[in-house]
């Protein structure tokens, strides 16, 4: 009897000694991963691109929005994470000399025109659906139950949202579809609702209209970075006309930003500060502004791809050396490996693999240990029984 008790205690002790790996809490591991590289804690990216104008002569606003759309898609945000609001009456307009195409650059000097409309765009709100009410409902998430998921902003508290608006504007207002206006206060309140509902991690608000900087002057929610094309009482100008299309095809500010973006790819480490430093009155022809007082990270540490791209992060896994049968899994440290991710995906793989590694290293010895213990146990039991 006493022998049994002692022997079982010894075994419990042995088991405790053999038990390995106490993990740090999963939450702190995940947080450490997402905060590294000054990533700011976002895991996915969304973009809301709004062209608030309609009619043929506002061709350039459509081209602005489509240019941003193309850039954002190129840098990795998938259509499922982009909400594109366009009046969409330009590409198939009777006046369009190039039907089914929208260009953002003129064809003079024999330049190649880049078709932004193409075959592969997904417009979520088109025509008369682009209203102030729909825009505010989209941002705040207070949509009718019948609204399909593709038209909702399904962000969470670790989403970085890029909001781009273009159209005709004025002092603290933006004209929607020649019909109604949204004011800077509406935008500020919508963003505050988003903040209260944990619908964003950080917002980058870009606006290209006349007197654009007034539109972001009323925002009061944290983690918002804003930039606009012109100051109060200042107009924003278009960049160039196209003689074949007959109207202006792109606005200066958006053109400037898109030119900058052409030099950016998914692996770029360029920061927002780099973008803002390129603003000059000569190239934009208005005083573009930046508002960063609500933004908690330093601008030179905030990457362009934090807002414009869908960048996946991965980590290296040390090879499992014991067993030659498994090929060593080496995932080299890439940023933006696959465009399948809309954001930095946790390769908590690294930590997971290291825990697996610990499991694997021990398992043959573990199994033999357990079998040995079992055999010893059986031996003791049956020898005891012979005595009984």
Partner 1 sequence: MAYAIPAAIAGRFLLSFTSIYDSLKYDHLLTSPLTSYPRLQEGVFLYKHGIDPYSGGGFYHSPLLLSLFSTVLPQYSPIPQLLWASCDIISAYSLAQIWRLRSKDETGRRDGRIAGSYLLNPYLFLPSLALSTSSLENALFLTAIVFACRGKTVPSLFTLALLSHLSLPSVLFLPPFVMLLHVSPTSALASATKESTLRLGSSIKSFFIFAICMSFASVCNLITTGGWDWVYRTWGTGLLLPDLSPNTGLWWYFFTEMFDHFRPYFLMVFSVHLLIYVAPVCMKFKHDPLFAIFILQGLLAIFKPYPTLSDPGLFLSMISVFPEIFPYLRHPIVTALLHLHASLLLPLFHSLWLAQGTGNANFFYASTLVFGMANGAAVTDCMWAGLRVAFGQKDGVEYVQE
Query: Residues with catalytic annotation?
Result: 168, 210
End-to-end CA distance of the chain: 12
122 sits near partner 1 (criterion: CB under 8 A): no
Sole window of 19-27, 65-73, 144-152, 258-266 interacting with partner 1 (rule: CB under 8 A): 19-27
Question: Is residue 329 at the binding interface for partner 1, with CB under 8 A as the rule?
Answer: no
Which residue's CB is nearer to partner 1, number 323 or number 333?
A: 323
- 252: nearest Cα among 271, 232, 228, 268: 228
CA dihedral 187, 189, 191, 193 (to 10 degrees): -150
Min CB(12)–partner 1 separation in Å: 6
Give least dist CB 67 to partner 1, A.
46
Would you call 79 helix, strand, or coil by DSSP? helix
Which run of H or of E encompasses 368? Answer: helix 349-387
Smallest gap from Cβ 304 to partner 1, in A, equals: 38
6 binds partner 1 (CB under 8 A): no
Contact between 12 and partner 1 per CB under 8 A:
yes
**385 near partner 1, judged by CB under 8 A:** yes
Q: What is the distance between the alpha carbons of residues 114 and 9, in angstroms, rounded to a whole number?
A: 77
Distance of CA 187 to the CA centre of its chain: 20
Residue 360 near partner 1 by CB under 8 A: yes
Q: Is 328 in the site for partner 1 (CB under 8 A)?
A: no
Rounded-to-integer distance, Cα 383 and Cα 135, Å? 81
| DSSP string across 231-254 | -TT----EEEE-TTT-SEEEEHHH
Backbone angles phi, psi at 147, to 5 degrees: -70, 130
Beta strands 173-176 and 180-183, pairing class: antiparallel
Whether 107 contacts 95, CB under 8 Å:
no
Of 170 and 360, which has the nearer Cβ to partner 1?
Answer: 360
Rule CB under 8 A: say whether 4 interacts with partner 1: yes
Residue 215 DSSP one-character state: T
x/- site string to partner 1, residues 135 to 154, per CB under 8 A?
A: --------------------
State residue 374 phi and psi, 5-degree precision. -65, -45
Q: Tell which one of 326, 329, 340, 379 touches partner 1 (CB under 8 A).
A: 326
Nearer to partner 1, 94 or 386 (CB): 386
- SS3 labels along 123-182: CCEEHHHCCHHHHHHHHHCCCCCCCCHHHCCCCCCCEEEEEEEECEEECCEEEECCCEEE
Query: Is residue 19 close enough to count as binding partner 1 by CB under 8 A?
Result: yes
267 vs 363 by CB, closer to partner 1 = 363
Q: Tell me, by CB under 8 A, how many residues bind partner 1.
A: 39
Pick one of 57, 128, 185, 368: the residue that binds partner 1 (CB under 8 A).
368
CB of 13 to partner 1, least distance (A): 10
CB 337, min distance to partner 1, A: 23
Q: State the minimum distance, in angstroms, from the CB of residue 333 to partner 1.
A: 23
Q: Which stretch binds partner 1 (CB under 8 A): 17-25, 159-167, 182-190, 205-213?
A: 17-25
Residue 127 tokens read as 């025509």
Scanning residues 296 to 325, which ones bind partner 1 (CB under 8 A)?
320, 322-323, 325
Determine the distance from the C-alpha atom of residue 135 to the mean position of all C-alpha atoms in its chain, rounded to a whole number: 19
Give the binding site for partner 1 (CB under 8 A). Answer: 4-5, 8, 11-12, 14-15, 18-21, 320, 322-323, 325-326, 356-357, 359-364, 366-371, 373-374, 377-378, 381-382, 384-385, 388
């Amino acid at each position: 009897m006493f022998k049994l008790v002692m022997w079982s205690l010894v075994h419990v002790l042995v088991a405790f000694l053999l038990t390995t790996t106490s993990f740090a809490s999963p939450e702190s591991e995940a947080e450490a991963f997402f905060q590294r590289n000054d990533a700011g804690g976002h895991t996915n990216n969304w973009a809301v691109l709004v062209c608030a104008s309609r009619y043929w002569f506002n061709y350039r606003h459509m081209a602005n929005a489509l240019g941003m759309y193309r850039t954002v898609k190129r840098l990795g945000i998938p259509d499922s994470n982009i909400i594109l609001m366009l009046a969409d009456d330009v590409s198939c307009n009777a006046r369009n000399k190039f039907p089914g195409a929208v260009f953002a650059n003129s064809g003079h000097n024999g330049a190649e025109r880049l078709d932004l409309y193409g075959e592969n765009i997904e417009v979520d709100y088109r025509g008369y659906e682009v209203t102030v009410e729909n825009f505010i409902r989209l941002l705040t998430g207070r949509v009718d139950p019948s609204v399909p998921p593709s038209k909702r902003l399904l962000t969470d508290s670790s989403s970085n949202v890029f909001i781009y608006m273009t159209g005709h504007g004025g002092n603290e207002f933006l004209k929607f579809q020649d019909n109604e206006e949204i004011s800077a206060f509406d935008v500020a309140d919508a963003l505050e609702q988003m903040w209260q509902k944990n619908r964003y991690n950080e917002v980058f608000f870009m606006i290209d209209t006349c007197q654009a900087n007034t539109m972001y002057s009323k925002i009061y929610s944290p983690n918002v970075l804003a930039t606009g094309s012109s100051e109060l009482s200042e107009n924003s100008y278009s960049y160039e006309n196209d003689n074949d299309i007959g109207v202006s095809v792109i606005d200066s500010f958006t053109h400037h930003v898109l030119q900058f973006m052409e030099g950016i790819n998914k692996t770029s480490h360029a920061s927002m500060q780099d973008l803002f430093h390129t603003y000059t009155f000569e190239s934009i022809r208005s005083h573009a502004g930046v508002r960063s007082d609500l933004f908690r990270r330093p601008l030179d540490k905030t990457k362009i791809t934090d807002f414009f791209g869908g960048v996946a992060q991965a980590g290296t896994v040390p090879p499992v050396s014991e067993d030659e049968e498994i090929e060593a899994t080496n995932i080299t440290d890439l940023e933006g490996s696959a465009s399948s991710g809309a954001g930095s995906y946790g390769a908590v793989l690294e930590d997971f693999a290291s825990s697996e590694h610990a499991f694997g290293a021990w398992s043959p010895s573990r199994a033999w240990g357990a079998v040995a213990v079992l055999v010893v146990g059986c031996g003791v039991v049956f020898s005891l029984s012979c005595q009984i």
